[in-house]
Amino acid sequence: MTTPAATAPLRRNDLGWYLYGVAAADETSVPLGARLAAGAAQKVELVAEGSLVGVASRVSLQEFDEPTLPERLRDATWLEEKIRAHEQVLERVLEDASVVPCRFCTVYRSEVELRRFLSERRETLQAALDRVRGKVEVGVKAFIDSDRFTAGRAKQNDDIRQLETQISTAEGGRAYMERRRLEQLVASELERFRGEAADRIHTHLLAAAEDGLALPLQTPELSGRDEKMVFNGAYLVTADRGAFEDALASLARDIRDDGVDLELTGPWPAYNFVPVELSAE
Amino acid sequence: MSMSEQQTLKHQVTLLELVDRVLNRGVVVSGDITLSVADVDLVYVGLRVLLSSVATLEESRERISATGAGP
C-alpha cells in the first residue's frame, strides 16, 4: 500500500461556497428553501443577508480551487455535469422567485466572504434584481429554408420572375447559362432578405417584450440545423409569457411562407439582462 | 435521422445553448475563485472535445449501419 504523500491532508476549512445566483429575500419562501435542500444531488442553501439571498452550495475546495480548476475544466464530463447543475438550480429557483444568475464557477472560500459580497454589493445587486423581477428570459432563433424561399418569397423579385420566364422558353447552352444566373440572383436575394427578416423579427418581438437583444448568429455546426440561421435573439418577458408568445405565434404564421421558421427556447434565468460586471459601490 | 440521433443532437444543442449563457453571460462577481477569460477558453476546448467525441460516435454508428455490420 502506498501513501499519497503529495496530497495535502484535508483541512477543516476545505469547503467553499459555490454561488449560483442572487434572489430577493421577500420572494424566496421557506418551501422553496426546503425543495432546494432536498431536490438535487448537490444540497442547495439559501444564504440570507438583509434583503438579498445567495443561492449557493457548499463545495469541496479541492474540486474548485485555482490550482486544480484548469485541469477540471478540461474534463468534459465534469464540465457538462457542473454546467447542467448550475442551470438546474437556477431553473428551480426561477419557478418561485426572480433571480440574478451568476457566471459559472463563482466560488467563495468561506461563508464570511460570501456574506461580505452580498452586503457590500447590495445596491447594485438589488438594482439588477429589480430589473428582472417577475420576468424571465426567452431565446428566439430563426432559420431559413432556402428551398421554400426559392419557391415562394424569391418570386416577389421582378428580375427573378422575368429570368424564370426566359428560361422556360430558352434552349441548350443559353438555358444552362440563364439557370446559373438565376441561382446567383436567388442567392443574393436570399442574402438581402436575411437582413430584412432579422430586422422584422426583432422589431416585432421587441414590441411584446420588456427588453431584447440580438445575439451573434450560430453556425449550422452549433445550431444543429442545416438551414441557415437568420436571427438569434434573447428577450426579457413577463413570467407568464402570454403576450410574447401570442406575438411570436402571429409572427411565425406571417413569416412561414417566406421560408422562415422560428424556434423558442427557455424560460431561462435572465442571463442576458443582468450586468456583466458589477460596478464598485 | 433516427430517434436516438435526434435526441443526441438535441442534447448537444441544449448544452451549447446553456454554455452560451452560463459561461458567457450572468453576473461576474468578485468571488474568491472565478473563471478568467483564459479559463473560459479552456472550457470551450473541453466542450469541443466532448462534442467532437459525440460526433465521432454518431459517424461510427452510421458506418456500422451502412455496412450492415454490428450487433
Model pLDDT for residues A65-106, shown as the tens digit of each residue: 777 887 888 888 888 889 889 998 999 899 889 999 998 889
- In this prediction the ipTM stands at 0.74
Q: What is the pLDDT of residues A131-181, one digit of tens each?
A: 999 999 999 999 999 999 998 888 899 999 999 888 888 888 888 888 999
Q: What is the pLDDT of residues A244-273, one digit of tens each?
A: 999 999 999 999 989 999 999 889 999 999
CA neighbor of A80 nearest in space, from B7, B47, B58, B37: B47
Spell out the domain ranges in chain B.
Answer: 3-67
Q: What is the pLDDT of residues B10-45, one digit of tens each?
A: 566 577 778 888 888 888 877 677 777 777 777 776
A-contacting residues of B 5-64, CB under 8 Å? Answer: 9-10, 12-13, 15-23, 25-35, 39, 42-43, 45-47, 49-50, 53
Mutation site for A-interface testing, chosen from B14, B33, B53, B54 by largest number of A Cβ within 10 Å: B33
Nearest CA in chain A to B51: A76
Nearest CA in chain A to B9: A224
Q: What is the pLDDT of residue A126?
A: 95
Positive or negative torsion for Cα A213, A219, A221, A224: positive
B-contacting residues of A 31-90, CB under 8 Å? Answer: 64-66, 69-70, 73-77, 79-80, 83-84, 86-87
Three-state DSSP class for residue A225:
coil
CA–CA separation, A274 vs A30, rounded Å? 26
Between B4 and A156, residue with greater pLDDT: A156
CA–CA separation, A50 vs A39, rounded Å? 25
Q: What is the pLDDT of residue A5?
A: 41
Q: What is the pLDDT of residues B37-67, one digit of tens each?
A: 777 777 776 676 666 555 555 555 555 555 5
| Conformation bin of residue A172: beta by default, left when phi > 0, alpha when psi is -120 to 50 | left
Average pLDDT of chain A, as a whole number: 87
Q: What is the pTM of this model?
A: 0.82
Q: What is the pLDDT of residue A11?
A: 54
Q: Do A204 and A251 meet the contact criterion of CB atoms below 8 Å apart?
A: yes
